[in-house]
């Protein structure tokens, strides 16, 4: 079960957007924990131009079973036309912490 946990990366344009998305993901049990990393500086290509700006990075702790619903929810609520959403598998971690993540998602994981 714990080998299907994920950290999902998602950038946001402002702290207010990041905090709002984080609270809602926790309330809906799509995430057990969301860390907000302030003011990263991003350089990227958008609509054939090089852009840059400050963003806030969400580190979302979740589970594979929640990903599809989380992705749809982010697409509906995120202000970006194409939000960053990248899921990374958690390979190892403190067993008690990994169990805590699972506990925060109860009801959204099919194989508990």
Whether residue 26 lies inside any domain: the answer is yes
pLDDT value of residue 106 = 74
Q: Is 52 in a helix, a strand, or coil?
A: strand
Whether residue 110 lies inside any domain: the answer is no
Alpha-carbon distance 94 to 73, whole Å? 29
- Structural domain boundaries enclosing 26: 2-104
Torsion sign (Cα): 14, 20, 25, 29: positive
In the predicted structure, residue 60 carries a pLDDT above the cut 50: yes
In the predicted structure, residue 57 carries a pLDDT above the cut 90: yes
Alpha-carbon distance 2 to 102, whole Å? 8
What CATH number did the domain enclosing 64 receive?
A: 3.30.70.120
* Candidate ranges 1-10, 48-57, 101-110; pick with highest mean pLDDT: 48-57
Alpha-carbon distance 28 to 32, whole Å? 10
Whether residue 109 lies inside any domain: the answer is no
Please give the model's pTM, rounded to 2 decimal places: 0.91
Alpha-carbon distance 53 to 13, whole Å? 9
């Amino acid at each position: 079960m714990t080998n299907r946990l994920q950290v999902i990366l998602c950038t946001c344009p402002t702290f207010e957007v990041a905090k709002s998305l984080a609270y809602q993901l926790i309330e809906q049990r799509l995430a057990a924990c969301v860390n907000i990393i302030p003011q990263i500086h991003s350089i990227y290509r958008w609509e054939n131009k090089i852009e840059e700006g400050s963003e806030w990075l969400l580190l979302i702790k979740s589970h594979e079973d929640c990903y599809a619903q989380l992705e749809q929810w982010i697409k509906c609520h995120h202000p970006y036309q194409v939000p960053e959403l990248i899921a990374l598998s958690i390979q190892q971690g403190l067993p008690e912490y990994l169990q805590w993540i699972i506990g925060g998602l109860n009801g959204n994981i099919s194989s508990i």
